[in-house]
Amino acid sequence: MAARKSGLGRGLDSLLPVERPQVGFSHLPLELIEPNPQQPRTRFDEDAMAALADSIRAVGVLQPIVVRPVEDKYVLIAGERRCRAARLAGLVEIPAVIKPEDTDDTVSLTEALIENVQREDLSPLEEAAGYRQLLEDFGLTHETVAQRVGKSRSAITNTLRLLQLPAAIQVMVGDGSLSAGHARGLLALEDQAYAVHIAERVVAEGWSVRQVEDAVKKRAAASSPAVRPPKAPRPAAIIELEDRLGERLGTAVRIDHGKRGGKVMIRYGSLDDLERIYKLLS
């Protein structure tokens, strides 16, 4: 019979202070993380948080939060929404970058994050999450992010749009079975269930990006009236404005312009995405 292990060791361990990491990267227990008392935002949309929690359950926390140690706990510097959504998703730990206790320099944190998103080993979703953190946590614009990371504004916008895809497709992009090019081709589909269906066929049958684009065009043609009256060419200025608004908001924009005015239609992928667009507009 094997000797029974003594509980004495565990008893002594429980009496000794637990050494917490003080700087660097770690996975921290959520119970040790406290909100920043200087956080100006106190209201978080419940539906948007639920959508983010669903995404975290599917693909995990793509971008670590930023904290600083205070006694035996940690105070948030950046990542309040991710922290709340992780708790909602049932996580007990979250990836975190731990900065020195006296850190309060937002500029240095921004520079560190920019350096992180310039790494070559990031997945497209991790890159997109990094851009979103620069926009949401540090208030940068699409154009500023583009200048700081050395990419075009449209490249930043197109990468961010990957976060509008259904969670099932994000999982495929995250594990590398679906390329970012294939995923971007699916963004034009309004029917998310059909988008997942096409993504699954891409993975199973090895479709090219061109095949994805053709499938999306066929779907659009099938859902449109069989006969359309001819339309006058759309003004180039309106098309250019659509492109500029789309890049600024990180989503598809359609402008219907007439003699007596018109309307602007802005596409959003989820309530979380709608809240992001609202913040940009306000």
H/E segment holding residue 27:
strand 24-29
The whole-angstrom separation of Cα 215 and Cα 211 is 6
Annotated active-site residue in 31, 46, 71, 80: 80
Say how far apart CA 212 and CA 195 lie, in whole Å.
10
Element (H, E) at 76: strand 73-78
> Residue 254 forms beta bridges with which residues?
265
Hey, is 225 helix, strand or coil? coil
- Residue 104 burial (C-beta neighbours within 10 Å; 0-12, 13-18, 19+): exposed
| Beta carbons of 28 and 72 less than 8 angstroms apart | no
Expressed in angstroms, the distance from the first to the final Cα of the chain is 71
DSSP 99: P
Helix, coil or strand: residue 17: coil
Q: Which helix (H) or strand (E) holds 95?
A: strand 93-98
Torsion over CA: 210, 270, 124, 92 (sign): negative
3-state secondary structure of 8: helix
Annotation says 275 is catalytic = no
3-state secondary structure (DSSP) of residue 266: strand
CA angle 114, 79, 127 (to 5 degrees): 40
For 180, residues 6+ apart whose C-beta sits below 8 A from its C-beta are 124, 159, 162, 173
Catalytic residue set:
80
